[in-house]
């Protein structure tokens, strides 16, 4: 469970960086980096624990978040 959460988290941050690097609108990419930075695994672990999660539930939460998109952000920055 832990390894899957770590891998998912790493892939998410990699994919976010890759997508932002390919954005033609550099101002929007910088805005995303500033306002919605990639979270560290340690911060994600702390967030999960602050929510009261323990054991495998912490890793399940991180894995779930790794594969969930932010619909508000997608809508704001999608190509028109």
pLDDT value at position 76?
87
- The predicted model scores a pTM of 0.83
**How deeply is 8 buried, as exposed, middle or buried, from its count of CB atoms within 10 A (0-12, 13-18, 19+)?**
middle
Cβ distance 77 to 24 under 8 Å? no
CA distances from 1 to 4, 11, 54, 55, 69 (A): 5, 15, 13, 10, 21
Of 37, 52, 30, 39, the C-alpha closest to 8 is 39
Mean pLDDT by 10 residues, the chain (80 residues): 94 96 94 96 96 97 93 82
pLDDT value at position 19?
93
Return the structure tokens found at 24.
């033609």
């Amino acid at each position: 469970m832990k390894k899957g959460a770590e891998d998912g988290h790493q892939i998410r941050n990699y994919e976010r960086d890759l997508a932002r690097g390919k954005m033609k609108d550099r101002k929007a990419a910088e805005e995303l980096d500033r306002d919605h930075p990639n979270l560290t695994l340690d911060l994600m672990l702390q967030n999960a624990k602050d929510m009261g999660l323990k054991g495998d539930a912490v890793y399940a939460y991180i894995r779930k978040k790794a594969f969930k998109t932010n619909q508000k952000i997608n809508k704001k920055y999608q190509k028109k």
